Structure 1
Amino acid sequence: MDSIPANRRLWNRISSAYQSEHDPQIGAAPRLWGMYSIPDARLGALGDVTGKRVLELGCGAGQWSRALAAEGADVVGLDLSEAQLAAAARAMGPARYPLVQAAAEQLPFAAESFDLVFCDFGGLSWAPPHLAVPQAARVLRRGGRLVFNVASPWFEACYDEAAARVTTTLQRDYFGLNTIAEDDEATSYVLTYGDWIRVLRDADLVIDDLVEPRPAPETPNGYNQTTPPDWAHHWPAELLWLTRKP
Protein backbone atom coordinates (compact mmCIF):
# COMPACT_ATOMS: atom_id res chain seq x y z
CA MET A 1 0.00 0.00 0.00
CA ASP A 2 1.32 3.45 -0.94
CA SER A 3 0.27 5.52 2.06
CA ILE A 4 2.66 8.39 1.32
CA PRO A 5 0.32 10.82 -0.53
CA ALA A 6 -2.57 10.53 1.93
CA ASN A 7 -0.33 10.67 5.00
CA ARG A 8 1.41 13.75 3.63
CA ARG A 9 -1.94 15.47 3.02
CA LEU A 10 -3.16 14.61 6.51
CA TRP A 11 -0.10 15.96 8.29
CA ASN A 12 -0.02 19.09 6.18
CA ARG A 13 -3.64 19.74 7.14
CA ILE A 14 -3.36 19.05 10.86
CA SER A 15 0.19 20.28 11.53
CA SER A 16 -0.72 23.70 12.92
CA ALA A 17 -3.43 22.39 15.24
CA TYR A 18 -1.29 19.43 16.30
CA GLN A 19 1.68 21.60 17.26
CA SER A 20 -0.52 24.12 19.02
CA GLU A 21 -2.05 21.37 21.14
CA HIS A 22 0.96 19.14 21.76
CA ASP A 23 4.13 21.24 21.56
CA PRO A 24 3.80 22.38 25.20
CA GLN A 25 3.99 18.71 26.20
CA ILE A 26 6.50 17.44 23.63
CA GLY A 27 8.81 20.42 24.05
CA ALA A 28 8.45 20.81 27.81
CA ALA A 29 11.91 19.33 28.39
CA PRO A 30 14.53 17.52 26.29
CA ARG A 31 14.16 13.81 25.53
CA LEU A 32 10.59 13.02 26.54
CA TRP A 33 9.22 9.75 25.16
CA GLY A 34 5.74 9.07 23.96
CA MET A 35 2.19 9.76 25.01
CA TYR A 36 3.17 10.10 28.67
CA SER A 37 6.34 12.23 28.28
CA ILE A 38 8.56 9.79 30.16
CA PRO A 39 12.13 11.15 30.44
CA ASP A 40 14.86 9.33 28.55
CA ALA A 41 17.00 9.72 31.67
CA ARG A 42 14.68 7.21 33.31
CA LEU A 43 14.47 4.80 30.35
CA GLY A 44 18.10 5.02 29.18
CA ALA A 45 17.26 4.49 25.52
CA LEU A 46 19.49 6.89 23.58
CA GLY A 47 22.59 7.43 25.68
CA ASP A 48 25.26 10.01 24.85
CA VAL A 49 24.83 11.46 21.35
CA THR A 50 27.73 13.91 21.39
CA GLY A 51 29.51 13.87 18.03
CA LYS A 52 27.22 11.19 16.61
CA ARG A 53 25.49 11.41 13.25
CA VAL A 54 21.77 11.11 14.07
CA LEU A 55 18.65 10.78 11.91
CA GLU A 56 15.16 11.42 13.30
CA LEU A 57 12.44 9.69 11.27
CA GLY A 58 9.37 11.91 11.41
CA CYS A 59 10.80 14.89 13.27
CA GLY A 60 7.59 16.95 13.32
CA ALA A 61 8.39 20.37 14.71
CA GLY A 62 11.85 19.15 15.72
CA GLN A 63 11.45 18.94 19.49
CA TRP A 64 13.75 15.90 19.72
CA SER A 65 16.14 16.97 16.95
CA ARG A 66 16.52 20.42 18.47
CA ALA A 67 17.41 18.95 21.86
CA LEU A 68 19.95 16.46 20.48
CA ALA A 69 21.59 19.12 18.28
CA ALA A 70 22.01 21.26 21.39
CA GLU A 71 23.77 18.29 23.03
CA GLY A 72 26.34 18.14 20.25
CA ALA A 73 24.84 15.57 17.89
CA ASP A 74 25.10 15.99 14.12
CA VAL A 75 21.35 15.72 13.53
CA VAL A 76 19.22 15.44 10.41
CA GLY A 77 15.47 15.90 10.85
CA LEU A 78 13.33 14.08 8.28
CA ASP A 79 9.59 14.40 7.79
CA LEU A 80 7.06 13.63 5.10
CA SER A 81 5.11 16.85 5.67
CA GLU A 82 6.37 20.25 4.50
CA ALA A 83 4.07 21.89 7.07
CA GLN A 84 5.76 19.96 9.87
CA LEU A 85 9.20 20.86 8.51
CA ALA A 86 8.18 24.52 8.35
CA ALA A 87 7.25 24.31 12.03
CA ALA A 88 10.64 22.75 12.77
CA ALA A 89 12.43 25.52 10.87
CA ARG A 90 10.58 28.23 12.80
CA ALA A 91 11.44 26.64 16.15
CA MET A 92 15.02 25.65 15.37
CA GLY A 93 16.91 28.09 17.59
CA PRO A 94 20.70 28.50 17.77
CA ALA A 95 21.60 24.81 17.31
CA ARG A 96 21.08 24.52 13.55
CA TYR A 97 20.52 21.21 11.78
CA PRO A 98 19.35 20.22 8.27
CA LEU A 99 15.74 19.32 7.50
CA VAL A 100 14.86 16.85 4.75
CA GLN A 101 11.44 16.12 3.25
CA ALA A 102 11.14 12.42 2.50
CA ALA A 103 9.30 9.27 3.49
CA ALA A 104 10.75 6.80 5.99
CA GLU A 105 10.30 4.01 3.45
CA GLN A 106 12.29 5.94 0.82
CA LEU A 107 15.30 7.40 2.64
CA PRO A 108 17.45 9.64 0.39
CA PHE A 109 20.75 8.86 2.11
CA ALA A 110 23.76 6.74 1.29
CA ALA A 111 24.32 3.44 3.03
CA GLU A 112 26.06 3.58 6.42
CA SER A 113 25.51 7.32 6.88
CA PHE A 114 24.33 7.44 10.52
CA ASP A 115 25.34 6.24 13.98
CA LEU A 116 21.79 6.47 15.33
CA VAL A 117 18.37 6.41 13.68
CA PHE A 118 15.43 7.00 16.00
CA CYS A 119 11.80 8.07 16.18
CA ASP A 120 9.11 8.64 18.76
CA PHE A 121 5.78 7.84 17.09
CA GLY A 122 7.20 9.16 13.84
CA GLY A 123 8.27 7.37 10.69
CA LEU A 124 7.81 3.85 12.05
CA SER A 125 4.21 4.57 13.01
CA TRP A 126 3.32 6.23 9.69
CA ALA A 127 5.23 4.11 7.16
CA PRO A 128 4.96 0.38 6.47
CA PRO A 129 7.50 -1.11 8.90
CA HIS A 130 8.47 -3.92 6.50
CA LEU A 131 9.71 -1.17 4.15
CA ALA A 132 10.91 1.49 6.60
CA VAL A 133 12.94 -0.73 8.94
CA PRO A 134 15.20 -2.09 6.16
CA GLN A 135 15.77 1.49 5.02
CA ALA A 136 16.79 2.51 8.53
CA ALA A 137 19.11 -0.51 8.74
CA ARG A 138 20.64 0.35 5.36
CA VAL A 139 21.65 3.89 6.39
CA LEU A 140 23.07 2.75 9.74
CA ARG A 141 26.79 2.24 10.14
CA ARG A 142 28.06 -1.05 11.56
CA GLY A 143 27.44 -0.93 15.28
CA GLY A 144 24.85 1.83 14.78
CA ARG A 145 21.53 1.76 16.60
CA LEU A 146 17.86 1.96 15.62
CA VAL A 147 15.78 3.11 18.60
CA PHE A 148 12.06 3.76 18.24
CA ASN A 149 8.90 4.12 20.27
CA VAL A 150 5.54 2.96 18.88
CA ALA A 151 2.07 2.06 20.15
CA SER A 152 1.62 -1.28 21.85
CA PRO A 153 -0.70 -3.65 19.99
CA TRP A 154 -2.73 -3.99 23.18
CA PHE A 155 -3.36 -0.24 23.26
CA GLU A 156 -4.78 -0.35 19.75
CA ALA A 157 -6.68 -3.60 20.33
CA CYS A 158 -8.46 -1.98 23.29
CA TYR A 159 -9.39 1.23 21.44
CA ASP A 160 -13.17 1.68 21.28
CA GLU A 161 -13.92 3.65 18.10
CA ALA A 162 -17.49 4.49 19.10
CA ALA A 163 -16.46 5.83 22.52
CA ALA A 164 -13.22 7.35 21.17
CA ARG A 165 -11.21 5.99 24.07
CA VAL A 166 -9.01 3.11 25.17
CA THR A 167 -10.85 0.71 27.46
CA THR A 168 -10.19 -2.47 29.41
CA THR A 169 -12.11 -4.54 26.84
CA LEU A 170 -10.61 -6.01 23.70
CA GLN A 171 -12.24 -4.25 20.76
CA ARG A 172 -10.50 -5.80 17.75
CA ASP A 173 -8.61 -8.91 16.72
CA TYR A 174 -4.98 -8.82 17.89
CA PHE A 175 -3.96 -10.81 14.82
CA GLY A 176 -5.81 -8.36 12.58
CA LEU A 177 -3.53 -5.49 13.51
CA ASN A 178 -1.31 -3.98 10.85
CA THR A 179 -2.84 -1.04 9.00
CA ILE A 180 -4.99 1.46 10.88
CA ALA A 181 -7.33 3.70 8.85
CA GLU A 182 -6.91 7.35 9.85
CA ASP A 183 -8.68 10.53 8.70
CA ASP A 184 -8.40 11.66 5.07
CA GLU A 185 -7.64 8.08 3.91
CA ALA A 186 -4.29 8.19 5.71
CA THR A 187 -2.80 5.06 7.26
CA SER A 188 -0.83 4.35 10.41
CA TYR A 189 0.72 1.03 11.38
CA VAL A 190 0.61 -1.09 14.53
CA LEU A 191 2.30 -4.50 14.57
CA THR A 192 2.03 -7.42 16.96
CA TYR A 193 5.07 -8.32 19.04
CA GLY A 194 5.86 -11.23 16.77
CA ASP A 195 5.58 -9.16 13.61
CA TRP A 196 7.96 -6.53 14.99
CA ILE A 197 10.51 -9.23 15.84
CA ARG A 198 10.27 -10.68 12.34
CA VAL A 199 10.62 -7.27 10.66
CA LEU A 200 13.69 -6.42 12.75
CA ARG A 201 15.25 -9.85 12.25
CA ASP A 202 14.68 -9.75 8.50
CA ALA A 203 16.55 -6.42 8.41
CA ASP A 204 19.50 -8.12 10.17
CA LEU A 205 19.10 -6.01 13.31
CA VAL A 206 19.87 -7.30 16.79
CA ILE A 207 17.30 -6.58 19.51
CA ASP A 208 19.12 -5.39 22.62
CA ASP A 209 16.03 -4.57 24.66
CA LEU A 210 12.30 -3.96 24.55
CA VAL A 211 11.23 -1.37 27.09
CA GLU A 212 7.53 -1.04 27.91
CA PRO A 213 7.43 2.47 29.41
CA ARG A 214 5.25 2.53 32.52
CA PRO A 215 4.07 5.97 33.66
CA ALA A 216 3.29 6.77 37.28
CA PRO A 217 -0.37 6.23 38.26
CA GLU A 218 -1.35 9.90 38.02
CA THR A 219 0.35 10.59 34.67
CA PRO A 220 -2.20 11.68 32.04
CA ASN A 221 -2.17 10.53 28.44
CA GLY A 222 -1.52 13.61 26.34
CA TYR A 223 -3.20 12.23 23.22
CA ASN A 224 -6.00 9.78 24.04
CA GLN A 225 -8.83 9.33 26.48
CA THR A 226 -8.44 6.14 28.51
CA THR A 227 -10.64 4.23 30.93
CA PRO A 228 -9.29 4.02 33.59
CA PRO A 229 -7.28 7.27 33.40
CA ASP A 230 -4.13 5.40 34.53
CA TRP A 231 -4.57 2.64 31.91
CA ALA A 232 -0.88 2.63 30.96
CA HIS A 233 0.18 2.08 34.56
CA HIS A 234 -1.49 -1.35 34.36
CA TRP A 235 -0.93 -2.42 30.72
CA PRO A 236 1.72 -1.48 28.14
CA ALA A 237 0.62 1.45 25.98
CA GLU A 238 3.95 1.76 24.15
CA LEU A 239 6.91 -0.31 22.95
CA LEU A 240 10.39 1.23 22.99
CA TRP A 241 12.66 -0.97 20.86
CA LEU A 242 16.45 -0.77 21.27
CA THR A 243 18.22 -2.44 18.33
CA ARG A 244 21.59 -2.30 16.59
CA LYS A 245 23.28 -3.21 13.35
CA PRO A 246 25.98 -5.80 14.10
Structure 2
Amino acid sequence: MDSIPANRRLWNQISSAYQHEHDPQIGAMPRLWGMYSVPDAHLHALGDVTGKRVLELGCGAGQWSRALAAEGADVVGLDLSEAQLAAAGRAMGAGRAMGASRYALVQGAAEQLPFAAGSFDLVFCDFGGLSWAPAHLAVPQAARVLGRGGRLVFNVASPWFEACYDEAASRVTTTLRQDYFGLNTIAEDDGASSYQLTYGDWVKVLRGAGLIIDDLIEPRPELETPNGYNETDPPDWAHRWPAELLWVTHKP
Protein backbone atom coordinates (compact mmCIF):
# COMPACT_ATOMS: atom_id res chain seq x y z
CA MET A 1 0.00 0.00 0.00
CA ASP A 2 3.05 2.28 -0.22
CA SER A 3 1.82 3.54 -3.59
CA ILE A 4 -1.31 5.17 -2.15
CA PRO A 5 0.20 8.58 -1.20
CA ALA A 6 2.14 8.92 -4.47
CA ASN A 7 -0.82 7.85 -6.59
CA ARG A 8 -3.06 10.30 -4.76
CA ARG A 9 -0.59 13.14 -5.42
CA LEU A 10 -0.25 12.21 -9.08
CA TRP A 11 -3.97 12.16 -9.75
CA ASN A 12 -4.49 15.41 -7.87
CA GLN A 13 -1.85 16.96 -10.12
CA ILE A 14 -3.10 15.62 -13.43
CA SER A 15 -6.86 15.53 -12.84
CA SER A 16 -7.71 18.80 -14.56
CA ALA A 17 -5.64 18.08 -17.68
CA TYR A 18 -6.87 14.47 -17.77
CA GLN A 19 -10.54 15.45 -17.63
CA HIS A 20 -10.04 18.24 -20.17
CA GLU A 21 -8.53 15.74 -22.61
CA HIS A 22 -10.63 12.65 -21.96
CA ASP A 23 -14.04 13.70 -20.62
CA PRO A 24 -15.44 14.28 -24.15
CA GLN A 25 -14.61 10.64 -24.95
CA ILE A 26 -15.53 9.02 -21.63
CA GLY A 27 -18.76 10.97 -21.31
CA ALA A 28 -19.76 10.73 -24.96
CA MET A 29 -22.45 8.16 -24.21
CA PRO A 30 -23.20 5.64 -21.42
CA ARG A 31 -21.25 2.41 -20.86
CA LEU A 32 -18.20 2.81 -23.09
CA TRP A 33 -15.33 0.50 -22.14
CA GLY A 34 -11.67 1.27 -22.27
CA MET A 35 -9.18 2.93 -24.54
CA TYR A 36 -11.32 2.39 -27.64
CA SER A 37 -14.76 3.25 -26.17
CA VAL A 38 -16.30 -0.13 -27.05
CA PRO A 39 -20.02 -0.06 -26.10
CA ASP A 40 -21.16 -2.40 -23.35
CA ALA A 41 -24.14 -3.12 -25.60
CA HIS A 42 -21.68 -5.06 -27.80
CA LEU A 43 -19.88 -6.80 -24.92
CA HIS A 44 -22.74 -7.53 -22.47
CA ALA A 45 -20.47 -7.31 -19.43
CA LEU A 46 -22.57 -5.38 -16.88
CA GLY A 47 -26.15 -6.39 -17.51
CA ASP A 48 -29.17 -4.67 -15.99
CA VAL A 49 -28.26 -2.51 -12.99
CA THR A 50 -31.75 -1.30 -12.08
CA GLY A 51 -32.16 -1.38 -8.30
CA LYS A 52 -28.62 -2.72 -7.77
CA ARG A 53 -26.14 -1.42 -5.20
CA VAL A 54 -23.10 -0.49 -7.28
CA LEU A 55 -19.55 0.53 -6.37
CA GLU A 56 -17.18 2.05 -8.94
CA LEU A 57 -13.51 1.69 -8.01
CA GLY A 58 -11.69 4.79 -9.22
CA CYS A 59 -14.66 6.78 -10.49
CA GLY A 60 -12.70 9.81 -11.70
CA ALA A 61 -15.18 12.47 -12.73
CA GLY A 62 -18.01 9.97 -12.39
CA GLN A 63 -18.99 9.50 -16.02
CA TRP A 64 -19.77 5.79 -15.57
CA SER A 65 -21.34 6.28 -12.13
CA ARG A 66 -23.71 8.96 -13.36
CA ALA A 67 -24.79 6.82 -16.29
CA LEU A 68 -25.57 3.80 -14.09
CA ALA A 69 -27.36 5.99 -11.52
CA ALA A 70 -29.52 7.35 -14.34
CA GLU A 71 -30.44 3.73 -15.15
CA GLY A 72 -31.79 3.24 -11.64
CA ALA A 73 -28.77 1.91 -9.75
CA ASP A 74 -27.81 3.06 -6.26
CA VAL A 75 -24.19 4.03 -7.01
CA VAL A 76 -21.17 4.90 -4.88
CA GLY A 77 -18.23 6.37 -6.77
CA LEU A 78 -14.94 5.89 -4.90
CA ASP A 79 -11.70 7.63 -5.81
CA LEU A 80 -8.35 8.26 -4.18
CA SER A 81 -8.01 11.81 -5.52
CA GLU A 82 -9.72 14.87 -4.08
CA ALA A 83 -9.35 16.62 -7.43
CA GLN A 84 -11.06 13.80 -9.30
CA LEU A 85 -13.88 13.74 -6.75
CA ALA A 86 -14.24 17.51 -7.06
CA ALA A 87 -14.68 17.08 -10.82
CA ALA A 88 -17.28 14.38 -10.16
CA GLY A 89 -19.04 16.65 -7.66
CA ARG A 90 -19.27 19.49 -10.16
CA ALA A 91 -20.73 17.15 -12.76
CA MET A 92 -23.11 15.74 -10.17
CA GLY A 93 -24.37 19.24 -9.40
CA ALA A 94 -25.01 19.92 -13.07
CA GLY A 95 -26.76 16.56 -13.39
CA ARG A 96 -29.04 17.31 -10.47
CA ALA A 97 -29.98 20.61 -12.08
CA MET A 98 -31.06 18.60 -15.12
CA GLY A 99 -32.96 16.08 -13.01
CA ALA A 100 -30.46 13.21 -13.20
CA SER A 101 -30.37 10.45 -10.59
CA ARG A 102 -28.23 11.02 -7.51
CA TYR A 103 -25.30 9.01 -6.28
CA ALA A 104 -22.71 9.22 -3.51
CA LEU A 105 -19.00 10.05 -3.70
CA VAL A 106 -16.47 8.60 -1.25
CA GLN A 107 -12.74 9.20 -0.97
CA GLY A 108 -10.77 6.03 -0.42
CA ALA A 109 -8.36 3.44 -1.80
CA ALA A 110 -9.28 0.18 -3.52
CA GLU A 111 -6.82 -1.55 -1.16
CA GLN A 112 -8.71 -0.32 1.93
CA LEU A 113 -12.41 -0.12 1.07
CA PRO A 114 -14.35 1.73 3.80
CA PHE A 115 -17.51 -0.35 3.46
CA ALA A 116 -19.07 -3.23 5.39
CA ALA A 117 -19.03 -6.76 4.05
CA GLY A 118 -21.84 -7.52 1.63
CA SER A 119 -22.63 -3.87 0.89
CA PHE A 120 -22.88 -4.13 -2.91
CA ASP A 121 -24.41 -6.19 -5.72
CA LEU A 122 -21.88 -5.01 -8.30
CA VAL A 123 -18.32 -3.72 -8.02
CA PHE A 124 -16.78 -2.54 -11.28
CA CYS A 125 -14.13 -0.37 -12.83
CA ASP A 126 -12.93 0.59 -16.27
CA PHE A 127 -9.19 0.75 -15.57
CA GLY A 128 -9.46 2.89 -12.40
CA GLY A 129 -8.93 1.12 -9.07
CA LEU A 130 -7.74 -2.25 -10.36
CA SER A 131 -5.11 -0.64 -12.56
CA TRP A 132 -3.77 1.60 -9.78
CA ALA A 133 -3.82 -0.76 -6.79
CA PRO A 134 -2.06 -4.10 -6.17
CA ALA A 135 -4.54 -6.75 -7.24
CA HIS A 136 -3.65 -9.13 -4.39
CA LEU A 137 -4.93 -6.43 -2.00
CA ALA A 138 -7.74 -4.81 -3.99
CA VAL A 139 -9.49 -7.91 -5.36
CA PRO A 140 -10.09 -9.49 -1.91
CA GLN A 141 -11.47 -6.14 -0.75
CA ALA A 142 -13.87 -6.05 -3.68
CA ALA A 143 -14.93 -9.63 -2.95
CA ARG A 144 -15.47 -8.78 0.71
CA VAL A 145 -17.90 -5.93 0.04
CA LEU A 146 -19.93 -7.99 -2.45
CA GLY A 147 -23.00 -9.85 -1.27
CA ARG A 148 -23.61 -13.44 -2.30
CA GLY A 149 -24.18 -13.61 -6.02
CA GLY A 150 -22.62 -10.16 -6.39
CA ARG A 151 -20.44 -9.47 -9.40
CA LEU A 152 -16.97 -8.00 -9.88
CA VAL A 153 -16.56 -6.73 -13.45
CA PHE A 154 -13.47 -4.80 -14.50
CA ASN A 155 -11.46 -3.78 -17.53
CA VAL A 156 -7.65 -3.53 -17.49
CA ALA A 157 -4.85 -3.40 -20.03
CA SER A 158 -3.71 -6.65 -21.55
CA PRO A 159 -0.22 -7.75 -20.46
CA TRP A 160 0.70 -7.97 -24.15
CA PHE A 161 -0.15 -4.30 -24.60
CA GLU A 162 2.14 -3.44 -21.70
CA ALA A 163 4.92 -5.77 -22.85
CA CYS A 164 4.95 -4.09 -26.27
CA TYR A 165 5.09 -0.53 -24.94
CA ASP A 166 8.15 1.36 -26.20
CA GLU A 167 8.97 3.81 -23.40
CA ALA A 168 11.42 5.84 -25.48
CA ALA A 169 8.97 6.29 -28.35
CA SER A 170 5.89 6.57 -26.07
CA ARG A 171 3.91 4.13 -28.16
CA VAL A 172 2.90 0.49 -28.41
CA THR A 173 4.62 -1.45 -31.19
CA THR A 174 4.87 -5.02 -32.49
CA THR A 175 8.14 -5.63 -30.62
CA LEU A 176 8.24 -7.17 -27.15
CA ARG A 177 9.99 -4.62 -24.91
CA GLN A 178 9.77 -6.28 -21.51
CA ASP A 179 9.29 -9.72 -20.04
CA TYR A 180 5.78 -11.11 -19.82
CA PHE A 181 6.54 -13.17 -16.73
CA GLY A 182 7.06 -11.02 -13.68
CA LEU A 183 4.80 -8.16 -14.77
CA ASN A 184 3.58 -6.43 -11.64
CA THR A 185 4.49 -2.89 -10.58
CA ILE A 186 4.91 -0.22 -13.26
CA ALA A 187 6.68 2.99 -12.29
CA GLU A 188 4.72 6.10 -13.21
CA ASP A 189 5.59 9.79 -12.81
CA ASP A 190 6.55 11.27 -9.43
CA GLY A 191 6.88 7.93 -7.64
CA ALA A 192 3.36 6.73 -8.46
CA SER A 193 2.70 3.12 -9.50
CA SER A 194 0.25 1.30 -11.68
CA TYR A 195 -0.06 -2.48 -11.79
CA GLN A 196 -0.20 -5.20 -14.41
CA LEU A 197 -0.62 -8.98 -14.13
CA THR A 198 -0.28 -11.90 -16.50
CA TYR A 199 -3.36 -13.89 -17.42
CA GLY A 200 -2.37 -16.66 -15.04
CA ASP A 201 -1.76 -14.29 -12.14
CA TRP A 202 -5.17 -12.68 -12.63
CA VAL A 203 -6.77 -16.13 -12.44
CA LYS A 204 -4.87 -16.92 -9.23
CA VAL A 205 -5.85 -13.63 -7.57
CA LEU A 206 -9.52 -13.91 -8.54
CA ARG A 207 -9.83 -17.55 -7.47
CA GLY A 208 -7.87 -16.83 -4.31
CA ALA A 209 -10.47 -14.21 -3.37
CA GLY A 210 -13.22 -16.81 -3.73
CA LEU A 211 -14.60 -15.44 -7.00
CA ILE A 212 -15.93 -17.49 -9.91
CA ILE A 213 -14.74 -16.40 -13.35
CA ASP A 214 -17.74 -16.24 -15.69
CA ASP A 215 -16.08 -14.72 -18.73
CA LEU A 216 -12.94 -13.09 -20.04
CA ILE A 217 -13.85 -10.65 -22.79
CA GLU A 218 -11.10 -9.26 -25.00
CA PRO A 219 -12.67 -6.09 -26.46
CA ARG A 220 -11.78 -5.82 -30.13
CA PRO A 221 -12.34 -2.40 -31.68
CA GLU A 222 -13.40 -2.04 -35.27
CA LEU A 223 -10.76 -1.08 -37.80
CA GLU A 224 -9.83 2.62 -37.71
CA THR A 225 -11.25 3.07 -34.20
CA PRO A 226 -8.93 5.58 -32.50
CA ASN A 227 -7.19 4.86 -29.21
CA GLY A 228 -8.00 7.79 -26.97
CA TYR A 229 -5.01 7.27 -24.66
CA ASN A 230 -2.04 5.70 -26.44
CA GLU A 231 -0.32 5.81 -29.79
CA THR A 232 0.04 2.41 -31.42
CA ASP A 233 2.16 1.29 -34.36
CA PRO A 234 0.44 -0.04 -36.40
CA PRO A 235 -2.77 1.96 -35.82
CA ASP A 236 -4.86 -1.24 -35.99
CA TRP A 237 -2.82 -2.91 -33.20
CA ALA A 238 -5.84 -3.64 -30.99
CA HIS A 239 -7.83 -5.09 -33.88
CA ARG A 240 -5.08 -7.68 -34.32
CA TRP A 241 -3.99 -8.39 -30.71
CA PRO A 242 -5.72 -8.02 -27.32
CA ALA A 243 -5.19 -4.57 -25.85
CA GLU A 244 -7.58 -5.01 -22.91
CA LEU A 245 -9.02 -7.68 -20.63
CA LEU A 246 -12.60 -7.36 -19.40
CA TRP A 247 -13.08 -9.83 -16.54
CA VAL A 248 -16.61 -10.89 -15.50
CA THR A 249 -16.78 -12.69 -12.15
CA HIS A 250 -19.21 -13.38 -9.32
CA LYS A 251 -19.17 -14.28 -5.64
CA PRO A 252 -20.87 -17.63 -4.97
1:176 positional shift? 2.6
Q: 1:176 aligns with which of 178, 182, 202?
A: 182
**Aligned residue-pair number:** 246
Q: Superposed, which structure 2 residues align to 1:30-69 within 5 Å?
A: 30-69=30-69
- TM-score (normalizing by structure 2): 0.97
Task: Kindly indicate whether residue 198 of structure 2 is the aligned counterpart of residue 192 of structure 1.
Answer: yes
Residue identity matched to 1:101: Q
Name the SS for the 2:117 alignment partner.
coil
Residue identity matched to 1:31: R
Spell out, residue by residue over 1:64-122, the C-alpha distance to the aligned partner (whole angstroms, 9 max, x if none).
Answer: 00000000000000000000000000011122211000000000000000000000001
Residue identity matched to 1:66: R
Q: Superposed, which structure 2 residues align to 1:1-246 within 5 Å?
A: 1-92=1-92, 93-94=95-96, 95-246=101-252
Matches of 1:139 and 1:176 in 2, distance apart? 29
Matches of 1:195 and 1:111 in 2, distance apart? 25
Name the SS for the 2:129 alignment partner.
coil
Matches of 2:206 and 2:51 in 1, distance apart? 26
Matches of 1:22 and 1:100 in 2, distance apart? 22
Residue identity matched to 1:2: D
Matches of 1:15 and 1:228 in 2, distance apart? 29
Matches of 1:83 and 1:25 in 2, distance apart? 19
Matches of 2:117 and 2:45 in 1, distance apart? 24
Residue identity matched to 1:27: G
Name the SS for the 2:229 alignment partner.
coil
Spell out, residue by residue over 1:205-224, the C-alpha distance to the aligned partner (whole angstroms, 9 max, x if none).
Answer: 00000000000011010000
Matches of 1:183 and 1:77 in 2, distance apart? 25
Matches of 1:163 and 1:177 in 2, distance apart? 20
Consecutive unaligned residues of structure 1, counting only runs of 5 or more, are none
Aligned CA-pair RMSD: 0.5
Name the SS for the 1:28 alignment partner.
coil
Matches of 1:37 and 1:47 in 2, distance apart? 17
Matches of 2:111 and 2:240 in 1, distance apart? 34
Runs of 4+ residues over 6 Å off in structure 1: none
- TM-score (normalizing by structure 1): 0.99
